[in-house]
Amino acid sequence: MPKFDWIHKILVLGSGAIKIGEAAEFDYSGSQCLKALQEEGIETVLINPNIATIQTDPRLSGKVYLLPVTPEFVEKVIAKERPDGILLGFGGQTALNCGMELAKTGILDKYNVKVLGTPIAAIENTGDRERFRQAMLEADVPPLKSGSATSVEAAMRIAEDIGYPVIVRVAYTLGGRGSGVAHNVDELKETVTRGIVQSRIHQVLIEEYVGHWKEIEYEVMRDYADNCLTITNMENFDPMGVHTGDSIVVAPSQTLNNREYQKIRQTSINAIRHLGIIGECNIQWALNTKSEEFRVIEVNSRMSRSSALASKVTGYPLAYIATKLSLGYLLPELINKVTEVTTACFEPAIDYITIKVPRWDLQKFKNADRHVGPQMRSVGEVMAIGRCFEEVLQKAVRMLDIGKIGLVCNPEDYEPESEKRIRGELANPTDEHLFKISKALRMGLSVSEIYRLSGIDPFFLNKIKNILDMEDKLRKLNLNEPAAIEIIREAKRIGFSDEQIAVCQRTNATAIRNFRKNNKIIPCVKQIDTLAAEYPAKTNYLYMTYGGDEDDITFSNNASKVIVLGAGVFRIGSSVEFDWCGVNTVWALKKNDVKEAIIINYNPETVSTDYDVSDKLYFEELTTERILDIYDKENPLGIITSVGGQIPNNLSVKLTDLGANILGTSAENVDLAEDRSKFSALLDKLGISQPPWSKLVTIEDAKRFAEEIGFPVLVRPSYVLSGSAMRVAYKNVSLENFLKMAAKVSPDHPVVISKFITGAKEVEVDGVSDGENVLIGAIMEHVENAGVHSGDATMTIPPQALKPEVQKDIENCTQRIVKALKIQGPYNIQYLVKNDVVNVIECNLRASRSMPFVSKVRGINLIDQATLAMLGKKINIQLSPMTATSHVGVKVPQFSFMRLSGADPVLGVEMLSTGEVACIGENFSDAFSKALQAAEVHIPPKDGTILISIGGDQDNKKRVIPIAQAFQEMNFRIYATANTAKVLNDSGIATTVLYKVRDAQVNPNILDYLQDKKIDLVINVPVTNHKEDYSDILTDGYIIRRQAVEFNVPVITNLQLAEALIDVLKKNNSNGQSIRSLNEYMDEIPWKQW
């Protein structure tokens, strides 16, 4: 029973889709929260449309609503469920904003729902800059000099007072969206204009600029009796000026002395007490590098990315404890779950160092700005644990999975670059600035000069220099010298991988591994125990290091153990869905009596890296070297590589070659599916068609083949220099340009050219097989025609426009392919359908991105079945995908274009979405409408306004006529660019011309209409039949799309999607929206296996 005995039922708000600034860390915090509530016997209700999360599993949460986290939907759930209290602190800014709106509009009072934990007034005091500043002044906590403004004029006055440069921050947005430094009046005007629009309360803050000060954070907990703790502090490697989400961060702080550490700690507590936070919060500071002067920057009055990180840094379960505090418990009443004997009222002592490094994917976005600054742009992060800075830094670089084997010893390290350019990068960092530091050092720039330019503390720079010095030493080293053993030992201690040493020694990693083992240079396993070994701990939270000589744990040799490889770093294309797969695999292993389910993963945002999910957690690199180190110590039955996405999947063959046992489909059959030629031969043998393709090694051959099969063609180089890895070429010139400028084609780096079938439907199946029985979880139909990456496509279960005989055909093809490959585990097959003919595009012998979507919509946990199969058991359910449920599930991508200055929101074969949501409804439009709103798309109101702009020739433009007609029938006011308007008016659709952005003086102008919110929806379909990748960046279409993104107006760039939206708009008027929980939908499924 909770401390507050009036609590019986609690509503928890989730954070929705993964987006830049709000990622899987909220699955971690929400899951821990639900766990803590259930322990108390409290009934829980969760609202979160992110179907790929662990928290939206009915086993974890009493009731799950896959609905948008918006006041409108939350009110409906409140009305239905009537909870006693609501928790707003576990779903990021999305949940917090929604909660404040609910409080402000009186909905919480109306239904008598109490806000638990931090009260609304305190949340408001932290969210509104001016109120925050006042509160800090009252508490004697020094804030930055600043003022808030709701107009450009007011902003200018404040900036004059403070003096330039100033930083413009936007109130109430995620991850610092819209913020920027203004060095002069012009820059100020531009940033402020945009910021006011983006702010939920149309407010910006103008602040004193403290660039190059140290950025420090503290994680603070407070209970109802005013007890306060700081769980850890963190120090940003990057100085102030780079958003903390985009900064490299170490914990605990490294360069602060006791006075600085304790003064900021105490002031943090003073601030938090004054604000009245209950539970957990994060407080950020700027610390002068030449004195003890510091300023408070902001308080996040909720679980945040940093608090998730702090949980992983220390082993202290912040979200769990914060939940208990919200229920009225006091810190000294709670137990430290790691030791199980000591109190939770303490501050963890750390005897290791951790580092967080962000991962960007900016190169994927055409025209996106690659600088890092006050606006967060990274899409993932890694955390490394070790006993010295050099070790964790090099580990982290490998964890990023950006093709680097460490900070040094990469081929590109020696590519020449001008000193001017390097200096520029140091002063204005980009996503590659870490590597520019080593380049600068190699060029001979001094540590103090690099410090002057970058503001990165010389303490860190000297450590980087140590790594470079070691590289030099290793290159000169003769392994036969007696001194070599100690040098290799030292190299390992400072984080060099076998591969890095091998590069220096011109040998292979296995040779170094053998040398190491012969000389007893092996890493040891250490525990994260929250108390620096002061008390014995029962923890299974582990890391490996060369900074020690004794394992903290002993290894049982006869227990049945299985290692599950996690998904590693999240990036575009690999996200929380693979964590769902990993965690479900562990749960399934436990159900099947595996004694030790062991996870290896290093992503601090995830549930799988919570130490109580598995029997053992190695917070470690997913490299063959480290996996084998663990394998050697643990001696498991085998490793599961097929549930964590690309990273573990790609390790599968290497691990097999090095003697590890991989559970699931045999390596031979994996090869049969992955080797294009072999797979193609198999399809031929089975009589299943596929688009014509060929693997080519010269540009000339590529061109010849493309002409032979006819344009457009899909181009997939195996080596990409920059930009996206896949491209559709519509004619010879673009094919040649792409291959010459963006890729490398040679016998070592072949390019695959295949026929791009236009106007085809794309369909996928997800399933499981045990080698004999084939389970097809579902047939998923893409709404968009082929050509949009499956990760960016809108998907529906069951299919809406696929004939039963075609579905039958797909079922048959799947059965035959899966049986031929003797798949033992999960699989995913992608098909193209044109004129009712089914073509196979590819087959993956691993869990796919859509696994949780299929599992939850169809009521069958595919990972449960896959785990059975991988353990050599038989799957226990047979079901045709054509046996339909009475509900429809629709998955919709979430984009983060607003955060990525300059990025073109047009969809193509390269994936660009950062996350996804899925909603379930009575029919397609019910589910799709909810899903769109869940992905933050504002559905235009009745009688709304629409801007249509279609590129290309008359024929192309004519394709939009039926769509425009439909909008006209719904009484939409229709605007269009001149040429499109002509086509529409000619076909009897009343259309008003708006002038293009570049004709800024001509009215009425698109830009004004977007700015003034006079447009509810933009349909802009780019020219597709002669798309030129390098010239269309500044076309009118791009400008319209980009401006719409900036002003938060939904943009649709695909005609099928427009049609689906029309369906929603038409039915919405009569249908309403169903408010039913996932549990209710699942309970209706006769074959439910959950």
Dist. CA 761–CA 769, nearest whole Å: 26
Q: Which stretch binds other proteins (CB under 8 A): 348-356, 590-598, 738-746, 903-911?
A: 348-356
| Residue 572 to residue 866: CA distance in whole angstroms | 25
Whether the Cβ atoms of residue 834 and residue 761 lie closer than 8 Å to each other: yes
Helices (H), 379-418: 389-399
Specify burial of residue 850 (Cβ count, 10 A radius: 0-12, 13-18, 19+).
buried
In the bound complex, what is the minimum distance in angstroms from residue 488's beta carbon to other proteins?
15
Output the CA–CA distances (angstroms, integers) from residue 356 to 238, 257, 281, 470, in the order listed: 11, 21, 19, 23
- Residue found by looking up tokens 């000389």 in the block: 519
Closer residue to other proteins (CB): 547 or 568: 547
CB of 490 to other proteins, least distance (A): 10
Could you say which of 152, 185, 349, 1085 contacts other proteins (CB under 8 A)? 349
Tell which one of 1, 341, 741, 801 touches other proteins (CB under 8 A): 341
| Given 4, 111, 164, 459, the residue binding other proteins (CB under 8 A) | 459
Among 237, 294, 320, 389, binds other proteins (CB under 8 A): 389
Q: Give the Cα-Cα-Cα angle 860, 865, 869 (nearest 5 degrees).
A: 165
Contact indicator for 1006, 946 with CB cutoff of 8 Å: no
| C-beta closer to other proteins: residue 228 or 581 | 228
Q: What is the DSSP letter of 689?
A: B
**Cross-strand partners of 826:** 768
Does position 352 interact with other proteins (CB under 8 A)? The reply is yes
When asked if residue 462 is in the footprint of other proteins (CB under 8 A), the reply is yes
Q: How far is 288 from 255, CA to CA, in rounded Å?
A: 12
**Helix (H) or strand (E) run with residue 577 in it:** helix 576-591
**Binding flag, residue 420, other proteins (CB under 8 A):** no
Q: How far apart are CA 634 and CA 885, in angstroms?
A: 44
Smallest gap, in angstroms, from Cβ of residue 22 to other proteins? Answer: 31
- Report the residue number, 227 or 680, with the smaller CB distance to other proteins: 227
Q: Does 482 participate in binding other proteins (rule CB under 8 A)?
A: no
Map residues 919-958 to x or -, x wherever contact with other proteins holds by CB under 8 A. ----------------------------------------
Stretch that binds other proteins, among 18-26, 384-392, 783-791, 994-1002 (CB under 8 A): 384-392
Out of 24, 123, 216, 353, the residue judged to bind other proteins by CB under 8 A? 353
Q: Does residue 331 bind other proteins (CB under 8 A)?
A: yes
Closer residue to other proteins (CB): 156 or 553: 553
Which pair of structure tokens corresponds to residue 133?
């500043």
| Secondary structure in 3-state letters for 737-754 | HHHHHCECCECCECEEEE
Q: What angle do CA 942, 947, 948 make, to 5 degrees?
A: 120
Distance of closest approach, residue 933 Cβ to other proteins, in angstroms? 44
Quick one: tokens of 1048?
């938060």
Q: Looking at this protein, which amino acid is placed at residue 967?
A: F
Contact residues for 238 (Cβ-Cβ < 8 A; gap 6+): 215, 246, 247, 248, 372, 429, 455, 456
* Contact residue for other proteins among 112, 134, 184, 262 (CB under 8 A): 262
Q: How far is the CB of 300 from other proteins (least distance, A)?
A: 22
Crossing angle of the two packed helices 120-127 and 258-275, in degrees rounded to 10: 130
Which residues, numbered 240-259, are part of the site for other proteins (CB under 8 A)?
A: 252-259
Judged by CB under 8 A, does residue 187 bind other proteins?
Answer: no
Residue 546 CB partners (closer than 8 Å, separation 6+):
387, 391, 489, 492, 493, 521, 523, 524
Q: Which is nearer to other proteins, 459 or 1090 (CB)?
A: 459
CB of 451 to other proteins, least distance (A): 8
168-186 residues labelled b (16+ CB within 10 A) or e (exposed)? bbbbbbbbbbbbbbbeeee
Contact status: 226 vs other proteins (CB under 8 A): yes
Check if the beta carbon of residue 15 is closer than 8 Å to that of residue 572.
no
Reported residue count of the chain is 1090
Out of 201, 225, 681, 1000, the only residue in the binding site for other proteins (CB under 8 A) is: 225
For other proteins, the closer CB: 540 or 844:
540
Spatial separation of the C-alpha atoms in residues 382 and 396, rounded to whole Å = 6
**Number of other CB atoms surrounding residue 354 within 10 Å:** 26
Q: Does 337 interact with other proteins (rule: CB under 8 A)? A: no
User: Based on CB atoms, which residue is closest to other proteins, 352 or 578?
Assistant: 352
Give the C-alpha separation, 885 to 879, whole Å.
12
| Closer of 233 and 980 to other proteins (Cβ) | 233
Q: Which residues pair with 1018 in a beta bridge?
A: 947, 1051
Residue 140 in contact with other proteins, rule: CB under 8 A? no
Q: Which tokens is 877 given?
A: 């359910």
526 belongs to the binding site for other proteins (CB under 8 A): yes
603 by DSSP, 3-state: which?
coil
Q: Kindly indicate which of the ranges 147-155, 335-343, 654-662, 917-925 contains the residues binding other proteins, using the contact rule CB under 8 A.
A: 335-343
| Residue closer to other proteins, measured from CB, 344 or 1015 | 344
Nearest to 723 by CA among 952, 916, 904: 904
Closest distance to other proteins from the beta carbon of 329 (Å): 11
Q: What token pair was written down for 560?
A: 């049945």
Give me the least distance between CB of 350 and other proteins, in Å please: 6
Q: How big is the chain by its Cα radius of gyration, in Å?
A: 28
Look at residues 311, 318, 243 and name the one whose alpha carbon lies nearest to residue 89.
Answer: 318
Choose between 258 and 1001: whose C-beta lies nearer to other proteins.
258
In terms of CB distance, is 34 or 318 closer to other proteins?
Answer: 318
522 binds other proteins (CB under 8 A): no
Shortest Cβ 466–other proteins spacing (Å): 9
Minimum Å gap between C-beta 637 and other proteins is 30
Total residues at interface with other proteins (CB under 8 A): 55
- The neighbouring-strand residues paired with 689 are 839
Pick the closer one to other proteins by CB: 528 or 994. 528
Greatest Cα pair distance in the chain: 89
290 binds other proteins (CB under 8 A): yes
Q: Taking CB under 8 A as the rule, does residue 285 contact other proteins?
A: no
What are the distances in angstroms from CA 640 to CA 541, 583, 611, 765, 815? 20, 12, 19, 22, 24
**Of residues 530-559, those binding other proteins (CB under 8 A):** 531-536, 547-550, 552
Binding segment for other proteins (CB under 8 A), chosen from 147-155, 223-231, 301-309, 1076-1084, is 223-231
Q: Which of 1084, 1080, 1078, 936 has its CA nearest to residue 46? A: 1078
Residue 458 binds other proteins (CB under 8 A): yes
Which one of 150, 151, 193, 342 is in contact with other proteins (CB under 8 A)?
342
Question: From the list 351, 413, 449, 612, which residue makes contact with other proteins (rule: CB under 8 A)?
Answer: 351
Could you say which of 348, 455, 582, 771 contacts other proteins (CB under 8 A)?
348
- Interface stretch with other proteins, choices 9-17, 284-292, 688-696, 862-870 (CB under 8 A): 284-292
Least Cα distance to 304 among 86, 85, 11, 30 occurs for 30
Q: Beta strand 616-619 with 596-601: parallel, antiparallel or unpaired?
A: parallel
Q: In angstroms, what is the minimal distance from the CB of 619 to other proteins?
A: 16
Quick check: 904 binds other proteins (CB under 8 A)? no
Under the rule (CB under 8 A), what is the footprint of other proteins? 225-227, 229, 252-259, 261-262, 265-266, 269, 289-291, 330-332, 341-343, 345-353, 387-389, 457-459, 462, 524, 526, 531-536, 547-550, 552
